Structure 1
Amino acid sequence: MAKNGKNSRLSPSRASTTVKSTPASASQRRRILTTLTISLLLDLISFTLILPLFPSVLGYYHAKETSPTSTLNRVFHYLNVYKNWFAKPIDSSYDIVLLGGAFGSLFSLLQAVASPVIGRLSDQHGRRKALLCSLAGNILSVGLWVGATDFRVFIASRVVGGLSEGNVQIANSIITDISDEKQRGSAMALVGACFSLAFICGPVLGATLANIPTTASNKFAMAAGVSLFLIALETIYVYFSLPETHPRLSRFHDPGPPAATLVDKDKSRPRVPTVVNGDASKASVNGDKSSSNAPRNRDIKVRMRNESALKLVHLFFLLPFSGLEFSLPFLTATLYADQASAMGPSASQTSTLSPSALNGRLLSLMGLIASLLQGTIVRRLPPIVNIRLGVVACTISFFLLARVDSMSGVYVAGIFLAVTSATVVTSINSLGSLGAPEGERGIILGRLRSWGQVGRAVGPFLFCSLFWWAGREVAYMTGGVMMIGVVGAVFTVLK
């Protein structure tokens, strides 16, 4: 701000609305996006590496800890209490899957608590420092898994991971810092593409590493060690390659002309009265504080209303969608059992495929389609169009899964789910970033993620209960009806 005494009377609030930084240059933006892509791929491959191993890991600890008073056996006791609530008995072969779902819900609940805190830290101290702190927590989490000789240490590793995982959230804030509104959608699609590629590579790598023999005290030390190596490599890479991007703290943002200069230019123009409701006597002149504050207050109200709508849509979308994702192994196993019993002892060669293998094929197909969509179509469409497309596709998949009686029908529904995976969450983050002020981007995106994680935490529990209490047809029909409500909100409320 100029030192001129006349210009020093400009209020701080007025100055904050006048000074606005510009996005990074094209070369700086490309370099940062390249760094983010490599970082996210390393992080997400490490994150998804454990996903197919959950049943085996939990089964390993279950066989290892035979004492009735062990932590894992106490957990199974409460799980059996939960199962006994249902009129339709749940076979004990699903216990490990249910426990894996409980771990997923725990992780999401911890993320719901941690996301706003991580967002605020990135606003106050910078994206780079927040990301490095998050990576330090991830290193501790995976390090605990490497040394998890009993179930309690394994639980500790998941708790630490849930509280520290903020890489994707901070990546969204960084993309918001370095891109303008026209670039935002295509840049956000990059995060979704990294997710899809990681879900193709990570689970396969995890399954391969699980078959390599290691120490007797921790059968999965090899998979955990590779996961730790990927996170450590990512941390080193980010430390040396990623600059600070927060507009207040970065070096490459151009703050534009000083606020006082803009005020001087404004004062040199004729002060023309502005007619209010057709009455010149109620008019204010250019630069009047009340006339400038009114549009600003309206903008703040509109932004807060849109932020609230986005948080609710994120919550009520992920609540049924996460339940659907969690139910796919149950549905695959049910259809597999029905087909095997119908074919009898002379089952064909296709029946030798296990439910896990069938589910793995389904997830790989969905990941491949989602990554192709994000690299071609999604990045070119406005966020609101992507959200509308995704929630409609999700609704269709719910009603299809309520009626399918073969794996081919599940694959058709999986194509619609791939469209949903490629569009909705990434575009919700993109839409949320468009109205976020520079100093609040981290906390706004953190709150938005927090509401979605609540849906991810509650959805599997509610949907699983409905699946086993009323049957899969009722569960998927109910999910479809909930999604119709989400579709209505997306088409009428979101702007």
Structure 2
Amino acid sequence: MVFIVFISLLLDLLAFTMILPLLPALMELYRSKDDSGLFQWLLNKVEYFQQILGVPDRYNSVLFGGFLGSLFSFLQFVASPIMGAFSDRFGRKPAILISLIGISSSYVLWAISTNFAVFVLARIVGGLSKGNVSLFLAVIADVSNSATRGKGMAFVGIAFSVGFVLGPLIGAMFAQWSYTQESQTWFVVPASLALALALADVLFVAVAFKETLPEGKRAKSVASSVSQAFAYINVIDLFKFSAVSNLDKQSQSRLRRIGLTYFLYLFLYSGLEFTLTFLTYHAFGYTPMQQGKMFAFIGITMAVLQGGYVRRIPEEKTHWAARLGLLLTVPSFQFVGLAASPSMPYRLVFLYIGLFLFAASTAFVVPCMSTLAAQYGSHDQKGKVMGILRSLGALARALGPVIASTAYWSVGSSFTYIFGACLLTIPWYLIKKAK
């Protein structure tokens, strides 16, 4: 079953990541040609502030891209626990198929998005449908025990690594083959390929996946299951880890500190990460193909570090490794911010030093922070601890892109990255103080 989860996730992530290197070019396309009027309507709303701040027109695409990124993540934050509750009552397979069909529908909308309004609708449908990752984590919990769960989670990590290495590169290649200066629909080819992969995923799950939650273990009613799901949406309860009971005061305080650190890290990190493609597009003139190669460099570096070192870190050194990863994030974004300045010599060298440190820090932080959080709670509450941690991460990713994109739009990329890097010392300090 773990292998089936791996194949399904790989198909999904290959399709999902194709759009990453294309997003700046797509925003520029809708900025220059949008017969729905939505892009122009949004421009009119920010025009007053744009004139005051002296923001170039081309930076408007960064602002609107950030809103779309945050909207997608926010919808995922809300929908994933609800789909999890649905699966607790009716089984994993129906819920996974509904998610995958919804994802396929979003690619259909992307393929026909000749205007900005349809593209926005595609992102909304995609965000609401993106509950399959959480559902597959529940599947692994269904079919594994404490001794084998780590191996199952490792397969999920490998699927993410391979997807984020190959997906952006494949999307960029197909976009390059179909791109011409005159073409207004060059995105149809990568969107159609994403749709084909998504449909293959639906068919694969329908045929190969066997239900892992027997009737006798399912929730008795939808209402009780949904009420538990809201524990992963209520922001105050999330930060308090209210769903985790029977912790002593000291353990509860430490777990909350880990959750706050994780949220602040991902809030700052995800915003700067999201605007990275816009920075390389504006500052270096990167094409989608160059963006794809950049993502491949980041993904390969992460995969080598995670596979060769991070997974072998002993438990007693996890706290040290988390601190190291958080500390590396600071210079990584400082180097990228300096590279964005036109007057900086050896800009490309600075950029790739920053990208290497970015990949290295990413390889350390998320798995080590997850391991730290997993040490808390009784055996039957580990799932709740990890579920709340994932929800905090999803909430951070829902807020980070829009804040960082607004800063990029108003004060420029260099200041945004360097100031953001300074703020990233806060989560490092918090985890340093947590024993």
TM tier, smaller: 0.7 to 0.9
Aligned to 2:6: 37
The residue identity in structure 1 corresponding to 2:348 is M
Closer/same/farther in 2, CA of residues 470 and 172 from structure 1, 3 Å limit: same
Tell whether 2:178 aligns with 1:212.
Answer: yes
2:310 to 343, 353, 378: 378
Query: Residue 100 in 1 paired to residue 65 in 2?
Result: yes
Please state how far the C-alpha of 1:145 moved relative to its aligned partner.
2.4
Q: Which of 224, 240, 249 is residue 207 of structure 2 equivalent to?
A: 240
Further displaced range: 171-180 or 404-413 = 171-180
Separation (CA, whole Å) in 2 of partners of 1:58 and 1:334: 12
1:482 to 383, 400, 423: 423
Identify if the C-alpha distance between structure 1 residues 84 and 109 changes in structure 2 by more than 3 Å, giving closer, same or farther.
farther
Once the two structures are superposed, what CA deviation does each residue of 1:370-413 show, in whole Å capped at 9, x if it has no partner? 12222222222346555334212212323444555311112112
Equivalent pairs, count: 398
CA–CA separation in structure 1 for the residues paired with 2:56 and 2:33: 22
Matched, 1:151 2:116: yes
Percent identity (aligned): 33
Q: Which moved more, 1:136-145 or 1:366-375?
A: 136-145
- Choose which of 271, 289, 293 in structure 2 pairs with 1:323: 271
SS at match of 1:116: helix
Offset, 1:324: 1.9
- Determine whether 1:113 maps to 2:78: yes
- In structure 2, what is the equivalent of residue 452 of structure 1? 393
After superposition, give the CA deviation of every residue in 1:189-218 in whole Å (9 maximum; x if it has no partner). Answer: 43233222212211222223333389x995
- In structure 2, the partner of 1:129 is 94
* Cα distance in 2 for residues equivalent to 1:182 and 1:480: 38
**Does 2:262 align with 1:314?**
yes
For residue 71 of structure 1, report the CA deviation from its aligned partner.
1.7
Contact 1:192 1:422 in 2 (8 A): no
Partners of 1:481 and 1:450 in 2: CA distance: 25
User: Measured at CA, do residues 438 and 138 of structure 1 come closer, stay the same or move farther in structure 2, by a change above 3 Å?
Assistant: farther
Task: Give the AA of the match of 1:242.
Answer: F
* One of 331, 334, 341 as aligned partner of 1:396: 331
Paired residues of 2:69 and 2:402 also in contact (CA < 8 A): no
> Residue 51 of structure 1 aligns to which amino acid in structure 2?
L
CA contact (8 A) 2:140 2:149 kept: yes
Distance 1:205 1:388, change over 3 A: same
Q: 1:46 to 1:302 in 2, by over 3 A?
A: farther
Whether the 8 Å CA contact 2:326–2:365 is kept in 1: the answer is yes
| CA contact 1:117–1:443 (8 Å) conserved in 2 | no
TM-score, L = length of structure 2? 0.78
- SS of residue in 2 equivalent to 1:50: helix
Q: Distance in 2 between matches of 1:240 and 1:197?
A: 24
**Equivalences for residues 60-209 of structure 1 within 5 A:** 60-66=29-35, 70-84=37-51, 86=53, 89-181=54-146, 183-209=148-174
User: Distance in 2 between the 1:300 and 1:246 partners?
Assistant: 32
Task: Determine the C-alpha separation between the residues in 2 that align with 1:244 and 1:306.
Answer: 37
Change in 2 beyond 3 A, CA 1:328/1:51: closer
3-state SS of paired residue (1:328):
helix
Q: Is it true that 1:387 corresponds to 2:344 in the alignment?
A: no
Aligned-residue offset at 1:100: 2.1
* CA distance in 2: counterparts of 1:247 and 1:423, whole angstroms: 36
Letter in 2 for 1:397: S
Measured after TM superposition, the shift of residue 467 of structure 1 is 4.2
The one-letter code matched in structure 2 to 1:480 is A
Q: Tell me if 1:363 matches 2:332.
A: no
Deviation at 1:159, TM superposition (A): 0.5
Q: Distance in 2 between matches of 1:433 and 1:57?
A: 40
Does 2:18 correspond to 1:49? yes
Q: 1:394 to 1:92 in 2, by over 3 A?
A: same
Deviations along 1:286-343, one digit per CA (max 9) or x if unpaired, are xxxxxxxxxx96447677656544432232011111122134345435654xxxxxxx
**One-letter amino acid matched to 2:13:** L
Partner residue in 2 for 1:290: none
| 2:97/2:202 contact within 8 Å kept | yes
One-letter amino acid of the structure 2 residue matched with residue 393 of structure 1 = L
Larger radius of gyration: 1
Q: Distance in 1 between matches of 2:371 and 2:210?
A: 22
CA distance in 1, matches of 2:373, 2:83: 17
8 Å contact kept, 1:388–1:490? yes
SS at match of 2:178: coil
- Secondary structure at 1:90's aligned position in 2? coil
> Cα 1:60–1:397, aligned 2, differ >3 Å: closer, same or farther?
closer
Specify which of 273, 276, 280 is matched with residue 332 of structure 1.
280
Alpha-carbon RMSD across the aligned residues, in angstroms, is 3.5
Measured against aligned partners, the alpha-carbon deviations of 1:193-249 in whole angstroms (never above 9, x if no partner) come to: 3222212211222223333389x9955333222212211211222233333445886
More helix by share: 2
Correspondence list, 1:419-430, <5 A: 419-429=360-370
Name the aligned partner's letter for residue 418 of structure 1: A
User: Where does the alignment leave 5 or more consecutive residues of structure 1 unmatched?
Assistant: 1-31, 252-295, 337-352
Cα displacement string for residues 131-190 of structure 1 (whole angstroms, at most 9, x for unaligned residues): 222112212222222343433222212101101102222233333444444554454343
Contact 2:24–2:277 (Cα < 8 Å) also in 1: no
Matched residues in 2 for 1:222 and 1:328: separation? 24
